């Protein structure tokens, strides 16, 4: 007479060891379908099939399948949520808490980028980045990135880590992340090795990309009014306001006004 499945293990599952799921005798044979549960004999397998393994075999509810699903869910970014100001961060901003004073080397006509980054880092954005921007970990815990291509938050996180730890020389030469950022901006006419307008780069290369990153995972807007409503619920809007005019219109208007 075969003994019952141990009380702390559901029918149709295995404890992961090399024992029969029914009688706990040593076993080297697995269920041919799910490859999860061990049996010492055909009789034990038949008993367990009727007792419950039929419902979980290859159904995605076995122990390893559930563990894989749990790991995959943990790897996903958290769901999108409307931005809410952090009282502690807002207090730091109100107190005028300062970011580190770090120089940035010109790594190939990148003065326009350096001035934008330093202005942003010596403002409210720095303090929010220390806590972790939406759906991202703080810079110190986010070295692997989020996996999304051309993510401006990951690029800024990399710059923040370097900016906060420049070493004894007190300046950084972020060649790799600068190349990554400018490569992501190629579609708006910004490329590595050439001078560009700082204002245009700030709007199109950083702030608009930050908005896109802030809206990743948000409900799809069915029109401009809904899009404006979503934009008002982002960190980008909280810090910089709305980007109402199309970017190319902003950039061309700046050239007409002599800004470029």
The mean pLDDT of 205-210, rounded to a whole number, is: 92
Average pLDDT over residues 96-102: 89
* DSSP codes joined into one string, 144-190: T--S-TT-HHHHHHHHHHHHH---TT-EE--HHHHHHHHHHTGGGT-
Query: How open is the CA angle 148-151-157, to the nearest 5 degrees?
Result: 115
Whether 37 contacts 48, CB under 8 Å: yes
Q: What is the pLDDT of residue 82?
A: 92
Confidence tier at 62 by pLDDT (50, 70, 90): low
* Domain spans, the chain: 1-54+64-76, 87-256
User: What number is the average pLDDT over the span 210-237?
Assistant: 90
Q: What is the pLDDT of residue 156?
A: 93
pLDDT at 83: 92
Contact criterion met (CB below 8 Å) for 171 and 117:
no
Range with the lowest mean pLDDT among 4-8, 27-31, 157-161?
4-8
Percent of the chain's residues with pLDDT above 90: 31
Structure-model confidence comparison of residues 145 and 114, the more confident one: 114
CATH number of the domain at 87-256, out of 3.40.50.10440, 3.90.70.10, 3.40.50.80, 2.60.120.560?
3.90.70.10
pLDDT-derived band at 4 (thresholds 50, 70, 90) equals very low
- The DSSP letter of residue 97 is P
Share of the chain above pLDDT 70, in %: 78
């Amino acid at each position: 007479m075969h003994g019952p499945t141990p009380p702390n293990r559901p029918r149709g599952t295995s404890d992961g060891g090399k024992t029969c799921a029914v009688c706990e005798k040593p076993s080297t044979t697995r269920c041919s379908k799910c490859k999860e549960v061990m049996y010492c004999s055909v009789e034990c397998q038949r008993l367990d099939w009727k007792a419950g393994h039929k419902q979980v075999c290859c159904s995605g509810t076995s122990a390893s399948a559930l563990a894989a699903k749990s790991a995959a869910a943990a790897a996903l970014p958290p769901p999108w949520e409307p931005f809410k100001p952090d009282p502690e961060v807002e207090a730091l901003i109100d107190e005028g808490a300062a970011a580190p004073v770090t120089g940035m080397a010109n790594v190939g006509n990148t003065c326009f980028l350096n001035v934008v980054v330093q202005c942003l880092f010596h403002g409210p954005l720095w303090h929010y980045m220390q806590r972790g921007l939406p759906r991202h970990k703080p810079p110190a815990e986010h070295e692997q990135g989020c996996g999304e291509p051309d993510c401006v938050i990951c690029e800024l996180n990399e710059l923040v880590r370097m900016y906060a730890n420049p070493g004894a020389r007190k300046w950084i030469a972020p060649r790799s992340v600068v190349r990554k950022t400018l490569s992501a901006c190629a579609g708006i006419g910004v490329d590595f090795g050439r001078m560009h307008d700082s204002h245009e780069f700030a709007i199109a290369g950083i702030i608009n990309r930050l908005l896109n990153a802030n809206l990743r995972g948000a409900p799809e807007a069915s029109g401009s009014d809904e899009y404006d409503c979503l934009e008002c619920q982002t960190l980008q809007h909280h810090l910089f306001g709305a980007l109402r005019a199309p970017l190319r219109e902003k950039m061309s208007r700046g050239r007409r006004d002599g800004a470029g």
